[in-house]
């Protein structure tokens, strides 16, 4: 196996946490890589996932879109707001996201890939054996923009969706399935913003509409310096859930694919009550979505749907069989 490669694209700090030893290298990451993440809130690992695996994920995505493979009931198959009425339901060009693929074995193998999980444990675990949980899974098929810029994603913090803490023990692994650059809407990050408090979020007032749950930071300061994370196929960026990030419109002629998973440290992460916090409204909206589709999310008759339950029903253990914490 080739060694992991990474690229430093900026320098800037978040408080050390007792669970992770920031003074020593990890199993696969160097001390420099770990401290870069600690300071900036993200780190880019080159050639993390091989072409064979990427082809496998893409083939399964295509088969699901073309209805050659039946997706699990728990998976959400989504269309871009600008495409929903313009193409046939079984077209690859109609589907822009597969969400919650924890029950789809081919796609979930990404979450279990050792070249992903080793990095995750280096950054949110106390040891290479730390138990981790796959919390949120997506395969994104970002469409060419129709001219109304609906393919962009506003700057946001993923933590707005997550009712658990500490935030420092959650991380996203986001892998490019093809070349991703400014033209086709690469990720944009504001280094160091993971140290800030969670901001209030809302739907941006954009002409052409906004995709469901594409929240943005309210009154976002557009003058903040951002960096563009350009990637080749297989490159993976690992980032903190509080980091300001988003993506631009896809101005190319083709779709742009990426696969991702948010992981949490199973042993040191606990759910919180978001009542009377800026996450309360987000929680209510997600609960309403779950209530509309009880069978998809395996809600039992008479079971009270809560923000916490919405995540318990969707998360899955990675390389362990724990069932209590998350």
Tell how far CA 114 is from the center of its chain: 18
The per-residue pLDDT for range 25-71, each reduced to its tens digit, is 999 999 999 999 999 999 999 999 999 999 999 999 999 999 999 99
The per-residue pLDDT for range 98-146, each reduced to its tens digit, is 999 999 999 999 999 999 999 999 999 999 999 999 999 999 999 888 7
Residue 24 in domain:
no
Kindly report the CATH number assigned to the domain that includes residue 120. 2.60.120.620
CA distances to 24, 61, 64, 77, 105 from 92, rounded to whole Å, are 45, 8, 9, 11, 20
- Which tokens hold the place of 323? 């069932």
The per-residue pLDDT for range 155-188, each reduced to its tens digit, is 999 999 999 999 999 999 999 999 999 999 999 9
Residue 26 in domain:
no
Residue 229 in domain:
yes
Residue 311 in domain:
no
DSSP code of residue 300? P
Residue 268 in domain:
yes
* Cross-strand pairs, 165: 270
Closest CA to 224 of 190, 199, 196: 190
Our count of domains for the chain comes to 1
pLDDT of residue 16: 38
Q: Is residue 74 a contact partner of residue 100, using CB atoms and an 8 Å limit?
A: yes
Residue 322 in domain:
no
**What is the average per-residue pLDDT within 222-230?**
96
CA distances to 68, 69, 178, 242 from 59, rounded to whole Å, are 11, 10, 14, 32
Residue 295 in domain:
no
Domain housing 242: 31-282
Residue 2 in domain:
no
């Amino acid at each position: 196996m080739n060694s992991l490669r990474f690229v430093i694209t900026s320098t800037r700090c978040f408080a050390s946490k007792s669970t992770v030893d920031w003074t020593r290298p990890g199993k696969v990451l160097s001390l420099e890589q770990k401290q870069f993440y600690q300071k900036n809130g993200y780190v880019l690992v080159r050639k993390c996932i091989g072409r064979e695996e990427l082809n496998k994920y893409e083939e399964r995505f295509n088969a699901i879109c073309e209805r050659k493979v039946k997706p699990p009931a728990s998976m959400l198959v989504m269309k871009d707001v600008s495409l929903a009425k313009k193409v046939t339901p079984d077209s690859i060009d109609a589907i822009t996201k597969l969400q919650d693929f924890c029950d789809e074995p081919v796609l979930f193998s990404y979450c279990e890939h050792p070249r992903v999980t080793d990095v995750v444990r280096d950054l949110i675990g106390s040891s290479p054996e730390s138990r981790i949980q796959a919390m949120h899974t997506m395969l994104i098929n970002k469409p060419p923009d129709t001219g109304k810029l609906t393919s962009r994603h506003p700057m946001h913090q993923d933590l707005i969706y997550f009712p658990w803490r500490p935030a420092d023990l959650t991380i996203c692994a986001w892998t490019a399935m093809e070349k991703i650059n400014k033209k086709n809407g690469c990720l944009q990050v504001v280094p160091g913003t993971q140290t800030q408090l969670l901001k209030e979020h809302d739907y941006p007032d954009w002409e052409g509409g906004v995709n469901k749950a594409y929240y943005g930071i309210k009154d976002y300061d557009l003058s903040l310096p951002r960096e563009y994370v350009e990637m080749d196929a297989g490159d993976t960026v690992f980032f903190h859930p509080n980091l300001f990030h988003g993506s631009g419109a896809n101005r190319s002629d083709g779709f742009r694919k990426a696969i991702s998973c948010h992981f949490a440290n199973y042993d040191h992460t606990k759910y919180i009550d978001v009542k009377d916090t800026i996450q309360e409204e987000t929680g209510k909206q997600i609960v309403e979505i779950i209530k509309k589709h009880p069978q998809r999310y395996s809600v039992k008759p008479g079971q009270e749907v809560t923000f916490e339950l919405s995540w318990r029903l969707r998360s899955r253990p990675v390389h362990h069989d724990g069932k209590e914490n998350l």
